Structure 1
């Protein structure tokens, strides 16, 4: 059994991930901002902790992470306010990486987006630019550190039912269901060969475990 802490524990992907991990025998802590969401999170089998990631400092994050075996960053500002986007998607994410290192918790899985590359092409005047810029900064900070990281970059998220199959290295406009993203997160947490890999994926025809194995053999 592993002890896994998920930031953004009431998010749409996280709510699908939590029961997968619990059913796999893991102890899951979901960090949520609104205590009114506690009952919904608790119904997944996870334990919830209330903390505002935007306002939490390094010490608070270290306390939240201490005692776990892995961190999943699935939080996000949800767009809109550029200041808040940078505060959560970049700054808070980076603080959790530093906190994981301080707590001695090496395994860290980042949920990013398929276009998180330096030449993403998002117009600086676009309302989407702060998100693209913040996610790229967080991803690059994680790669530069010495945590046992995996960065997952799914395509556009849908509410389609899970199929359990994906494709790697898909075009930037690819789509994938939130349920399959949750399944990929669970799979990489169970597969140490994904450490040190950035995995870009969308819906496809290859079983998730096999797709991850093919990516490993191909060197991503």
Structure 2
């Protein structure tokens, strides 16, 4: 049994994950900003903690981590285009969680990022085709503040040597049922939210995923096979 603490537990990926983890016999503690998702999460089997990431201090989070004693923390919080915005939640909120993890001596973190988050002045990833480049330009033009906040959070996370992290980067999120998957260096496509949750659950119990940044797309492979491929060949994980 693994004890999970999900920060941002009200989101769709987080709710899929909660159901999957509880069904598999694990314990899930869900952190939500208010009681808006409380009833549905309780029905999924989660233990609820009300804490606004915007308003919480690092000591507040340390207290929560010390109380729950999670084996794995999942950062699933996001501003979702609403106030207070991605800088406050996706970046500053993530940094608070990093600080609290270190202070509470909680090691394992899975961060839900976003595909194509990168320092663009380095040029294109070498596996991108022309369609990927066109998609990238469109997305960065449409939601630059969100992607920049995600990028700053990842840059900060790489400085934290005490945290055993894995970054999961889904593509354009859909509500389609989970199917097959492609992991690692992928083209810019869509991703089922249910599938992302399945991948997170698999990563959380797979040795060797620590320190990797893994793109997740709908594809043709099984999660186990694709994850083993990425772990066995770390160069297939995107680190830029």
- How does the TM-score come out when normalised to structure 2? 0.85
Residue in structure 2 matching 1:157, options 173, 176, 195: 173
Q: How far apart are the structure 2 equivalents of 1:195 and 1:38?
A: 31
Residue in structure 1 matching 2:75, options 49, 73, 76: 73
Matched, 1:194 2:195: no
Q: How far apart are the structure 1 equivalents of 2:175 and 2:105?
A: 36
Q: How far apart are the structure 1 equivalents of 2:146 and 2:51?
A: 22
Q: Which residue of 1 aligns with 2:133?
A: none
Cα deviation, residue 37, structure 1: 1.6
| SS state at 2:120 partner | coil
Q: How far apart are the structure 1 equivalents of 2:41 and 2:86?
A: 24
Cα deviation, residue 168, structure 1: 3.0
Contact 2:183 2:230 in 1 (8 A): no
Contact 1:6 1:28 in 2 (8 A): yes
Q: Which residue of 2 aligns with 1:132?
A: 147
Q: Note the residue ranges of structure 2 that are not aligned, 5 or more in a row.
A: 122-135
Cα deviation, residue 119, structure 1: 1.1
Cα deviation, residue 218, structure 1: 2.0
Contact 1:164 1:183 in 2 (8 A): no
Q: How far apart are the structure 2 equivalents of 1:60 and 1:218?
A: 39
RMSD after superposition: 1.8
Q: Which residue of 1 aligns with 2:99?
A: 98
Matched, 1:49 2:65: no
Contact 2:33 2:52 in 1 (8 A): yes
Residues 65-99 of structure 1 show CA distances to partners (whole Å, capped at 9, x for unaligned) of 22111110000001255x62101000011110110
Cα deviation, residue 122, structure 1: 5.9
Q: Which residue of 1 aligns with 2:160?
A: 145
Cα deviation, residue 129, structure 1: 1.2
| Matched length | 217
Query: 1:1-220 counterparts in 2 under 5 A?
Result: 1-66=1-66, 67-81=69-83, 84-119=85-120, 126=141, 128-146=143-161, 147-172=163-188, 174-219=189-234, 220=236
Residues 125-150 of structure 1 show CA distances to partners (whole Å, capped at 9, x for unaligned) of 94611111110011111122120000
| SS state at 1:192 partner | coil
The alpha-carbon distance between structure 1 residues 135 and 122, as it changes in their structure 2 partners (threshold 3 A), is: farther
Residues 42-84 of structure 1 show CA distances to partners (whole Å, capped at 9, x for unaligned) of 1111111111111111011111222111110000001255x62
Cα deviation, residue 201, structure 1: 2.1
| SS state at 2:79 partner | coil
